[in-house]
Chains A and B, each alone.
Chain A
Amino acid sequence: MFLVAAIALFVSMILVLVRLYAGPIVYDRVLAANLFGTLTVLFIAILGFLTGRPDFLDIALLYALINFVGTIAILKFFRYRALGDIPQIKRGKQ
């Protein structure tokens, strides 16, 4: 059962990579990178069950957190062109 899940996971990884290489717009690639992070979480979970040691599950949780924060950072960057407190300065200028 876990083997089938792993095969399905690899197929979806390849699909995501195709979208990542082909684009065409930036948001396709952002979404694909985010999705690849989610697939990493699933991969770690499935690998744990495949090898009979599901101890890695809490580490997969940490990956999910990093992935979320990273995507928020990237999207914030596309919106404001900066991180941190620089948007306030820009707003004050307008």
Chain B
Amino acid sequence: MTETIINVILFTMLVTTAFAIVRMTRLFAVVMLSGVFSLLTAMLFVTLDAVDVAFTEAAVGAGISTVLMLGTIALTSRSTKPSTRSNALPLLLVTLTGAVLVYGTLDMPTFGDPNAPAQTHLAPHYLNESITEIDVPNVVTSILASYRGFDTLGETAVVFAAGIGVLLILSGLRRRREEEEEDES
């Protein structure tokens, strides 16, 4: 019961924040609001017991992307230009997509249903056997680091390659800018 009330309050705040983001024209305020939006999402994830997802959401959404958006604002403009086109077609498209997504949830099992396919196949094996097979007290960690170890290794390799690529591009840009400054002086 308390959980339902908490969810309703959090979702109300989430929707109000989303509307405020859409209505706001000053982009600094929009960046702050989107940080708060992702903090609210993180709270919702915590109420769903997905603490690790919530933590990633808070670190990426409220931390890194706020700084990235501020960097973008420093390079571009500080307020949005009012659009002259009509909003009817995008609104229709978004409503349709939303309706299709809601329709898709109708076939899904209810939250926490013990007979849902996710609870009946592999999950019981992980929950019962991971302590004897892997000997790691946290089930999520044992799945991520051992059962799906190669998957996680691949993901880490992709993220590592992306990071190195971005660093290479940025260092090339900086070197070129320094050379230009030297030419000017």
Contacts and interface: CB of A to CB of B under 8 A. Distances in A.
Given A21-B20, A56-B46, A70-B62, A29 B55 contact: no
B74 A82 contact: yes
A83 B67 CA distance: 9
Given A23-B29, A77-B67, A83-B67, A47 B39 contact: no
A44 B32 contact: no
Interface stretch (B9-17, B85-93, B102-110, B126-134): B9-17
**Chain B at the A interface: mostly helix, strand, loop or mixed?**
helix
A73 B55 CA distance: 19
Contact of A13 (B13, B29, B35, B70): B13
Interface residues of B, number: 32
26 contacts: A3-B2, A17-B13, A17-B16, A17-B17, A17-B36, A20-B29, A20-B33, A21-B16, A23-B29, A26-B28, A29-B29, A29-B32, A30-B32, A32-B36, A33-B36, A43-B43, A44-B43, A47-B47, A50-B2, A56-B46, A63-B42, A66-B58, A66-B63, A70-B66, A73-B67, A82-B71
